[in-house]
């Protein structure tokens, strides 16, 4: 067995850097985000592809206690069948799985925070070493383009995992393992009590993955739960199993190597329409749940999994308020990028754009609503004119529901910018679509709820005050993960800042270059605030980690 | 208006000490626990009593938005009528009160963590300066003896409040107010983004007090919520209003002095049998709830106040496992003290004592169960033989329900040590009772649920292994706040330690002198673990404070 102390020592420098970065919130990256062969070596892309290919049309090599039979539930967005089978967990196997996880818990608790943390980092670094293989897995389950799958599904997910580990370690380290407490008595020897404080897990943790960001959205909860001592059951979305199956596989290998029960992490796969997530979520021994997905199911979990601490990221309506700009072209290009990236299939993509009816002041003079739409249209053409480049930006539509929603919006709305279909040069079966922009009335409800996919609404308002008010009402009612404001007026920016604080939404202002409202950076940007209906938690803050473990004190007089 | 910066500076040293103590968990006390006139001055006892007397038979001077009419719901355990009226809040006034609290929120949020924290400490120190007056208020609402009311209701409550403030401040301070994030680009200027991170409150906080420890159990949540930016509505138990009314009064005065809306803290009083707590707890704008009381109502809150983060301390069954001791007399004296203090009306009082049927080894030879009971009986006589001294230990029975429970147990059980009535020298109407010890069968259910009051059960088991197993089952099923084990055998202590970790209960071992299982010390001992059914939170850890605020980020490129 490899030496646990050596592992702790190996990862100590990275852990220290990550902790510092999480506190300072300045730039830090532990992992390379570029798939360049200068970083990874000439063979890496081919080797990664070959490793991925080896997984296809096979039974995925993993054991899940309680599972019986196999299931291959994935529906590939690029039309390339994965045809990978996984152990199928049914409702009747939940007790056995949870029981296996519980059985593994005491030894993991007794391993202590240092070793658990080092093992968490070891798992992440081994996953990172297989970034190309993972990128293909993310691409062909989510529809992300390859480079995005490599970045958002790879390095950026690993950063988010490491960030969560750093936070969890920090929180655990704030509790000393033991002290001798000493209080002076009036006379004689002081009163002395020897005390120990042990970090104990809450119980079995459940991570419920989503179909669009199986790694990025799952890693924070997964690693935070694991290093704080909780066994983790990973329940992927049926359409995006592979990246999480690979994750669980790596983690189980590392756990076995260091002498732990591999059932400290397990894969729980079911098919679309089955109820496994609910069966697991309401099991009395499941005590932590991380969930990303629909508002309705997130709220169901919050109301029904009362035995667990439930962290949810749900849907929201992200707004853009245009008041004025000193860089119309930059603003249009920035918006076009945010609307296009992964076909708007990000929970952070802007959806509802408020523009005063009379238009706005810009560096090139007054711009009417039509001028602004035209500038965004031009920027979209620049970005997406070349199909080969366009598909690298857009990726593929993740499922039929998004496609139908897009078609419905195209037919129903007052279309300002049409959505175009693009043929994917490599994967002709992939559904690739450019963003649709439609006009909505200020009093319409169309733009008030999340309309997931490449669909944006332009809403004409009386003036900026009206825009701000409409924005405030949407965030208060529906929640948002992001907001974007463009203004050259400090008073408007101050008013917007206040609305952001009141409604609890992250706000970016005057993004005109290469910072995009739909992207957050680990160690510096928080993802979600937990302060509005879009999420009850943040990636990552202390509140996201501090309640995943408890402290048990024992004391004896000395 | 006094200078806010000066206030921050004034309290900075105490805050720094409190933060250090919370991290080191070694001995620290900010406030004097003794009512000695050498500390407080000759006039303090008389002045405090006079100030208390001035409150009697009056309308308490406080405004509560939404209240109409007055109510005087207190039932004095010493028989000394308080006859104090408070604004009566009915269900129809809840909206107005919550709305007033919300209205006060933005300015309090914008005051920032430093000033909010300093104001929290200022409130505590002003309360502490009135310790004698508060001690009478606690005594005559809860039945605690005067010295206990001075300590547990005074200095120790203030320490718990300060501890919570220190934790909350620490958690808020881990987030920088702003940074410039800078990432190298391949060529040219780095990418620069200016970011701000603002601590924002969750919303309106509700503190639901209990009848036995109105200050000690309320202060951690109250001060943690307040300094993290949440307006606080304090809903006392109808029988223990005064100490919290005085608390709210002091806090409102300080807030007004520093230019804030006094409705950042408000008193919400109703009568026994009214539903105010539930009306408040389910209001959509109430987002944090701290509760101490019955398991059934705590669970109701957890299941019904889904819009809020709910911290509950409920009931539990605290066990004692006797295996062996090298100080039988010390053990018996220590147990006698813990059973007697405040007539066992503490959530931390031991209730169920497991003893092997064959007895245990002691420093004076083998002791049978009868020998042990006899030693405890002798210790109780020593402690409570003198009525004047006894009432200072026992205090008064808090309400009729406890008295009836005690009578029922006396009549139904196999009594080992009888409960005696003692006449209070000063307050003849006070119901003073010594602890009852009854025998219960190992397979009986009598000792499995909390039997609040001066009632303990001796359960004879097959052997220590059986005792440990029974203890484990009780904590797992019913939860416990404390556990106590006596053994001279390291293997038994190690096994007990494991049970404590597995079931998530704080454990003390071999207490034979002046450390008592039912007492915890702020800054060093955690009260409750949140890891079993007796409580879902701890006083105080990071998890208790970190989720009372959220972080809102704004960013703009530079």
Which helix (H) or strand (E) segment holds residue A534: the answer is: none
Closest CA to B203 of B275, B119, B122, B264: B264
pLDDT tens for each residue of A523-542: 999 999 999 999 999 999 99
Of A303, A531, A546, the CB nearest to B552: A531
Which helix (H) or strand (E) segment holds residue A123: the answer is: helix A94-129
Residue with tokens 């990552």: A540
CA distances from B370 to A316, A420, B328, B335, B356 (A): 67, 89, 13, 15, 11
How many CB atoms lie under 10 A from the CB of residue A1? 7
The residues pairing with A353 across neighbouring beta strands, listed in sequence order, are: A320, A458
| Sheet order of strands, B309-313 included | B265-267, B232-235, B204-208, B286-292, B309-313
The residues pairing with A178 across neighbouring beta strands, listed in sequence order, are: A196
Closest CA to B505 of B472, B481, B539: B481
pLDDT tens for each residue of A100-149: 999 999 999 999 999 999 999 999 999 999 999 999 999 999 999 999 99
Of B504, B507, B551, the CB nearest to A541: B551
Closest CA to B405 of B480, B459, B344: B344
Q: Is the pLDDT of residue A232 over 80?
A: yes
Are the C-beta atoms of residues A288 and A205 closer than 8 Å to each other?
yes
Please tell me the distance from the alpha carbon of residue B71 to that of residue A134, in angstroms, as a whole number: 67
Q: Is B452 strand, coil or helix?
A: coil
Tokens representing A186? 């009036």
Q: Answer yes or no: do B531 and A550 touch at CB < 8 A.
A: yes
Q: CB burial class (10 A; 0-12, 13-18, 19+) of residue B388?
A: exposed
Interface test with B, best of A189, A510, A550 (most B CBs within 10 A): A550
Query: Whole-angstrom distance between the N-terminal and C-terminal Cα of chain B?
Result: 38
Closest CA to A206 of A268, A253, A254, A160: A268
> According to the model, what pLDDT value does residue B447 have?
79
Which region holds residue B364: left if phi is over 0, alpha if psi is between -120 and 50, else beta?
Answer: alpha
Task: Find the radius of gyration of the CA atoms of chain B.
Answer: 25
Of A526, A550, A554, the CB nearest to B507: A554
Which residues in A lie closer than 8 A to residue B308 (C-beta atoms)? Answer: none
Q: Answer yes or no: do A501 and B182 touch at CB < 8 A.
A: no
Query: What average pLDDT does this structure show over A350-370?
Result: 97
Q: Is A36 strand, coil or helix?
A: coil
Which residues in A lie closer than 8 A to residue B159 (C-beta atoms)? Answer: none
> According to the model, what pLDDT value does residue B1 have?
84
Q: Answer yes or no: do B182 and A513 touch at CB < 8 A.
A: no
Interface test with B, best of A108, A482, A553, A558 (most B CBs within 10 A): A553
- Alpha helix ranges (H) inside B258-344: 276-281, 295-304, 328-340
Are the C-beta atoms of residues B523 and B499 closer than 8 Å to each other?
no
Interface test with B, best of A168, A181, A184 (most B CBs within 10 A): A181
Which pairs from A89-93 meet CB under 8 Å and 24+ separation?
Answer: A89/A64, A89/A268, A89/A269, A89/A270, A89/A276, A90/A270, A90/A274, A90/A276, A91/A275, A91/A276, A91/A279, A92/A66, A93/A64, A93/A65, A93/A66, A93/A67, A93/A68
Of A498, A502, A508, the CB nearest to B556: A508
> According to the model, what pLDDT value does residue B449 have?
86
Which residues are CB-contacts of B27 (< 8 A; sequence separation ≥ 6)?
A181, A182, A183, B21, B521, B523, B524
Q: Answer yes or no: do B552 and A504 touch at CB < 8 A.
A: yes
Please tell me the distance from the alpha carbon of residue B277 to that of residue B431, in angstroms, as a whole number: 29
Distance to chain A for B202, nearest Cα, Å = 7
Q: Answer yes or no: do A552 and B524 touch at CB < 8 A.
A: no
Please tell me the distance from the alpha carbon of residue A197 to that of residue B520, in angstroms, as a whole number: 14
Residue with tokens 């104990």: A200
> According to the model, what pLDDT value does residue A328 have?
98
For A64, half-sphere exposure in the C-beta direction (CA atoms, 13 angstrom radius) is 30
Residue with tokens 């802007």: A350
Are the C-beta atoms of residues B236 and B293 closer than 8 Å to each other?
no
pLDDT tens for each residue of A31-89: 999 999 999 999 999 999 999 999 999 999 999 999 999 999 999 999 999 999 999 99
Of B515, B543, B546, the CB nearest to A191: B515
Q: Answer yes or no: do A182 and B27 touch at CB < 8 A.
A: yes
Nearest residue in A to B34, CA atom: A186
Structure letter (DSSP) for residue B435:
P
Please tell me the distance from the alpha carbon of residue B108 to that of residue B211, in angstroms, as a whole number: 30
> According to the model, what pLDDT value does residue B441 have?
83
Which residues are CB-contacts of A407 (< 8 A; sequence separation ≥ 6)?
none
Which helix (H) or strand (E) segment holds residue B87: the answer is: strand B86-87
Parts of chain B with a pLDDT under 50: none
Residue B71 CA, distance from chain mean position: 25
> According to the model, what pLDDT value does residue A338 have?
98
Tokens representing A62? 């993993």
Q: Is the pLDDT of residue A188 over 90?
A: no
Q: Is the pLDDT of residue A412 over 90?
A: no
| Confidence grade of residue A187 (pLDDT, cut at 50, 70, 90) | confident
Are the C-beta atoms of residues A433 and A340 closer than 8 Å to each other?
no
> According to the model, what pLDDT value does residue A446 have?
74
> According to the model, what pLDDT value does residue A447 have?
78
Count of A-B CB contacts under 8 Å: 188
- Alpha helix ranges (H) inside A345-399: 369-384, 387-394
> According to the model, what pLDDT value does residue A449 have?
86
> According to the model, what pLDDT value does residue A448 have?
82
How many CB atoms lie under 10 A from the CB of residue B275? 11
> According to the model, what pLDDT value does residue B412 have?
80
Q: Is the pLDDT of residue A152 over 90?
A: yes
Are the C-beta atoms of residues A527 and A499 closer than 8 Å to each other?
no
Please tell me the distance from the alpha carbon of residue A193 to that of residue B524, in angstroms, as a whole number: 10
For B413, half-sphere exposure in the C-beta direction (CA atoms, 13 angstrom radius) is 27
Task: Find the radius of gyration of the CA atoms of chain A.
Answer: 25
Distance to chain B for A230, nearest Cα, Å = 13
Tokens representing B358? 């064959």
pLDDT tens for each residue of A393-409: 999 999 999 999 999 99
Mean residue pLDDT of chain A comes to 97
Of A180, A193, A529, the CB nearest to B552: A529
Please tell me the distance from the alpha carbon of residue A313 to that of residue A217, in angstroms, as a whole number: 9
pLDDT tens for each residue of A34-43: 999 999 999 9
Distance to chain B for A198, nearest Cα, Å = 8
Q: Answer yes or no: do B555 and A195 touch at CB < 8 A.
A: no
């Amino acid at each position: 067995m490899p030496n646990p102390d050596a592992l702790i020592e190996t990862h100590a420098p990275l852990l220290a850097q990550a902790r510092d970065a999480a506190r300072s919130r300045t730039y830090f990256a532990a992992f390379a985000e570029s798939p360049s062969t200068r970083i990874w070596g000439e063979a890496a892309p081919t080797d990664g592809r070959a490793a991925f290919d080896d997984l296809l049309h096979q039974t995925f090599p993993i054991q899940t206690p309680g599972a019986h039979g196999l299931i291959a539930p994935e529906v590939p967005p690029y039309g390339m069948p994965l045809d990978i089978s996984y152990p199928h967990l049914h409702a009747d196997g939940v007790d056995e799985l949870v029981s296996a996880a519980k059985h593994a818990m005491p030894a993991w608790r007794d391993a202590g925070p240092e070793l658990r943390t080092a093992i968490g980092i070891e798992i992440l670094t081994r996953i990172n070493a297989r970034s190309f293989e993972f990128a293909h897995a993310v691409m062909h389950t989510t529809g992300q383009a390859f480079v995005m799958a490599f970045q958002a599904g790879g390095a950026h997910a690993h950063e988010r995992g490491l960030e969560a580990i750093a936070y969890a370690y920090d929180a655990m380290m704030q509790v000393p393992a033991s002290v001798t407490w000493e209080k002076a008595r009036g006379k004689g020897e002081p009163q002395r009590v020897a005390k120990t404080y042990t970090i104990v897990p809450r119980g079995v943790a459940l991570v419920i993955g989503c179909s669009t960001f199986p790694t990025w959205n799952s890693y924070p909860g997964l690693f935070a739960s694991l290093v704080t001592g909780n066994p983790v059951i990973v329940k992927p979305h049926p359409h995006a199993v592979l990246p999480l199956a690979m994750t669980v596989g790596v983690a189980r290998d590392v756990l076995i190597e260091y002498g732990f029960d591999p059932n400290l992490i397990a894969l729980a796969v079911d098919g679309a329409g089955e109820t496994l997530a609910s069966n697991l979520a309401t099991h009395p021994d499941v005590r932590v749940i991380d969930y990303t997905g629909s508002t309705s199911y997130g709220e169901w979990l919050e109301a029904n999994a009362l035995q667990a601490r439930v962290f949810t990221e749900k849907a929201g309506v992200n707004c853009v308020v245009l008041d004025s700009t000193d860089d119309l072209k930059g603003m249009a290009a920035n918006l076009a990028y945010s609307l296009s990236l992964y076909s708007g299939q990000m929970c952070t993509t802007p959806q509802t754009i408020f523009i005063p009816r009379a238009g706005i002041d810009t560096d090139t003079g007054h711009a009417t609503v039509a001028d602004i739409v035209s500038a965004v249209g031009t920027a979209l053409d620049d970005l997406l004119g070349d199909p080969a480049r366009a598909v690298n930006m857009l990726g593929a539509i993740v499922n039929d529901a998004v496609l139908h929603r897009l078609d419905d919006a195209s037919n129903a709305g007052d279309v300002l910018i049409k959505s175009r279909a693009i043929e994917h040069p490599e994967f002709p079966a992939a559904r690739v679509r450019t963003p649709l922009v439609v006009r909505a009335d200020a009093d319409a409800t169309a733009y008030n709820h999340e309309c997931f996919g490449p669909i944006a609404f332009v809403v004409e308002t009386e003036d900026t005050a009206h825009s701000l008010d409409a924005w405030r009402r949407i965030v208060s009612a529906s929640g948002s993960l992001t907001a974007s404001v463009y203004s050259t007026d400090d008073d408007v920016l101050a008013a917007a800042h206040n609305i952001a604080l009141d409604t609890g939404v992250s706000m970016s202002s005057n993004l005109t270059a290469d910072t995009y409202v739909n992207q957050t950076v680990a160690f510096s940007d928080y993802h979600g605030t937990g302060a509005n209906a879009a999420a009850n938690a943040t990636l990552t803050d202390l509140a996201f980690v501090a309640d995943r473990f408890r402290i048990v004190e024992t004391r004896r007089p000395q």
